């Protein structure tokens, strides 16, 4: 009996790059290497674009959880092409509980979200308050992607600062958010460091990431380095 998911899986194995799989597996250590096929992201995106309009793609999207990491990524790349905001949001929320790693979480950004920022913001707040590691991380990521720059409001900084978590992948995303905010809205963001509004680890990781950024001027990096908390243990990259 023909099964569209089997066809997708077969095609993914045909695109397998074992050297890439071995390299990528080291970047997502909490994912079982046996579940990683090893298809490069540009190839996954190209393939997802091809199957997004297939009459049976809904069958694949409904079969959760998927067996392979690469299938999850194809799933996200199909969903991010959905043009109807309501439908796309439903598919995003259906899939969020199945995300189990930072890479799958970070690599997708539904295109239609950019046109519905007012409606999206309450959902972002819900995701950030969920207490679920990758749902929280996704929410912060969406706030970073769509609400820095011309859509920025200073109160958005407080939304991220209010997230309290012991999870490394949540705190790393918070640091990434604040480092990006420093690059785009330095004066509004700086008080979160000068007034120690962030946990020490996130505070220092924000400074590290900001100082690694080519978008922040050297004199501002000097200001940031002087604000580093002593005695806070660094980890990760």
pLDDT in tens, 36-50: 999 999 999 999 999
pLDDT in tens, 128-173: 999 999 999 999 999 999 999 889 999 999 999 999 999 999 999 9
Q: How many residues does the chain have?
A: 237
Specify the pTM.
0.93
CB-CB neighbours of 177 under 10 Å: 27
Q: Across all residues in the chain, what is the average pLDDT?
A: 95
What per-residue confidence (pLDDT) applies to 237?
39
């Amino acid at each position: 009996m023909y099964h569209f998911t089997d066809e997708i899986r077969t095609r993914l194995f045909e695109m397998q790059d074992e050297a890439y799989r071995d390299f990528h597996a080291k970047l997502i250590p909490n994912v079982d290497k046996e579940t990683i096929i090893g298809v490069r992201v540009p190839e996954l995106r190209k393939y997802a674009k091809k199957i997004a309009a297939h009459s049976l793609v809904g069958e694949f999207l409904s079969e959760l959880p998927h067996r392979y990491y690469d299938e999850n990524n194809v799933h996200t790349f199909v969903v991010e092409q959905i043009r109807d905001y309501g439908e796309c949001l439903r598919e995003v929320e259906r899939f969020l509980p199945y995300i189990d790693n930072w890479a799958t979480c970070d690599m997708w950004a539904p295109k239609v979200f950019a046109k519905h920022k007012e409606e999206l913001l309450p959902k972002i707040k819900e995701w950030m308050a969920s207490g679920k590691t990758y749902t929280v991380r996704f929410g912060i990521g969406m706030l970073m992607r769509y609400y820095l720059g011309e859509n920025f409001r200073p109160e958005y900084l407080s939304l991220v600062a209010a997230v309290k978590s012991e999870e490394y992948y949540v705190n790393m995303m918070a640091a990434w958010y604040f480092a990006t905010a420093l690059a785009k809205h330095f004066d509004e963001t700086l008080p979160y460091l000068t007034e120690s509004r962030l946990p020490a680890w996130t505070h220092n990781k924000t400074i590290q990431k900001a100082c690694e950024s080519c978008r922040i001027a050297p004199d501002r990096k000097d200001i940031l380095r002087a604000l580093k908390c002593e005695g806070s243990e660094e980890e990760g990259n």
